[in-house]
Amino acid sequence: MNIIVVGCGKVGTTILESLVAEGHNVTAVDLRPSALADITNIHDVITVCGNGADSDTLEEAGVEQAGLVVAATGSDEVNMLCGFLARKMGAADTVARIRKPEYNDRSLQTMKQYLDLSMAINPDRLAAQEMYRILRLPAAVKIETFSRQNIEMIELKLKDDSPLAGVPLFDLRNRYKAKFLICVVQRGEQVFIPDGSFVLQGGDKIGLTARHAEIQKLLRGMGVASKQARKVMILGGSRVAYYLAKRLLNAGIEVKIVDKDRTVCETLCELLPAATVLCGDGTQQELLLEEGLERMDAFVALTGMDEQNILLSFFAASHKVPKVLTKVNRRELSALARQLGLDCVLSPRNTVADVLVQHARALENSMGSNVETLYSLMDEGAEALEFNAKDDPRLVRIPFKALQLKPQVLVAGIMRGRETIIPTGDDVILPGDKVVVITASHRLQDLADIIK
């Protein structure tokens, strides 16, 4: 597909990298020649230097032949205008990045309608949603939801003395009376889609699917604490911090925000009157301790510097804060942070890139079993996808034990109406089902791609 990415900042570049990796023909548009030069040094893309909200620039970028235009500049208003012009000039599909809190859900829906946008995405809000889910279930290092939150997939890091260590997967359902499926395992640098004979080890990161209530039952059986955090300290008064704090306060959770910018603090005080907002330098460890760091259930590092977030997260973990979440955008630093022991490392950029990859795959295959949801798992070593099943005779009404699935592919869950099915060999897919698939080595566009 021909895709135009307007705006080659941090988020735009991450989106571009993901779309290039998917095999799309990408054209990058930016006002800064230096940004475009950096991109062409790494990626085989076409570049156009100019204003993405200008019709001449869009015409030079080939907007008439574009299957998708993504507007990801630093200005919400420029992104809206770019999306509007691109659609009027012939682009098949348009997505705009819109970040400001004043553009709430209602106004976004209105703008999408009048500007004819296919999607408006807010990286900060998406990241805050991901963090909120984890704070609700602190035992997890990552939580994704499917089928309107009827199926959850959580990533857990097994301790060396975990009761799951040394147990073959086919024994687990008998040992723990919960309906769940361990569908992906990361061991060191390797990612496995396990079969029933796979034996877990301490230190493994596992991904399991189940309904939320079943996950709670499993964690209780394992003796893993899973109570949601009640007191949360957030370092950095960014937009992500605002969206996260708003969700936490609405859930009755105490929130303390620390930022050294007085203007930011005053704004947060107005927007979040129920939160405690402290104007101070959060890099001063004495300040964090004086403000009750050791009494917190969770610490969330959301400053604009990855290195600072990592260091202060280690400081919080060293003071026995039960749950530590760290925002890190640079991939090399994300990997380093995990190697050093920080489990919950999140990136708003990668979250948005997942959404755009999902959208592009659905556009490419609009006649088939569309990708409705897509997540990267296990440090991008695997993918979880949700499909809407069509009446395909190669797949439907055939027991899984009779299907010839590709290696490193697993059907992890099925939603049939209000029923959630964690499949066994005797289960079948029916037309209209929502089907969750995990893969570690294939780029799936259609549900039929799971069979040999």
Reading the chain (452 residues) residue by residue, the pLDDT tens digits are: 999 999 999 899 999 999 999 899 999 999 999 999 999 999 999 999 999 999 999 999 999 999 999 999 999 999 999 999 999 999 999 999 998 877 766 777 777 888 889 888 888 998 999 999 999 888 888 888 886 667 888 998 888 888 888 888 888 877 887 788 899 999 988 999 998 889 999 889 999 888 878 888 888 877 776 678 899 999 999 999 999 999 999 999 999 999 999 999 999 999 999 999 999 998 899 999 999 999 999 999 999 899 999 999 999 999 999 999 999 988 888 888 888 888 899 988 888 888 888 888 878 765 455 778 888 888 888 999 999 898 989 999 999 999 999 999 999 999 998 888 888 889 999 999 999 999 997 788 888 899 98
Between CA 123 and CA 239 the distance in angstroms is 10
Options 3.40.50.720, 2.160.10.10, 3.40.50.300, 3.40.50.970; CATH of 231-321: 3.40.50.720
- CA angle (190 as vertex; 188, 191 as ends), nearest 5: 120
Contact 169, 197 (CB under 8 A): yes
Q: Which CATH number fits domain 363-450: 1.10.3210.10, 3.40.50.2300, 1.10.1040.10, 3.30.70.1450?
A: 3.30.70.1450
Return the axis-axis angle of helices 348-364 and 10-21, rounded to nearest 10°.
40
Q: Which residue has the tokens 């024994």?
A: 171
How wide is the angle at C-alpha 206 spanned by C-alphas 205 and 210, nearest 5°?
150
Domain boundaries, the chain: 2-121, 140-222, 231-321, 363-450
Q: What is the DSSP letter of 396?
A: B
How remote is the C-alpha of 368 from its chain's centroid? 24
CATH number assigned to the domain covering 2-121: 3.40.50.720
**CATH class of the domain comprising 140-222:** alpha beta
Q: What is the pTM of this model?
A: 0.85
The pair of three-digit structure tokens given for residue 180, joined into one six-digit string? 């769940």
Distance CA 451, CA 404 (A): 6
Q: How far is CA 4 from the centre of its chain?
A: 22
Answer whether 2-121 and 363-450 agree in fold.
no
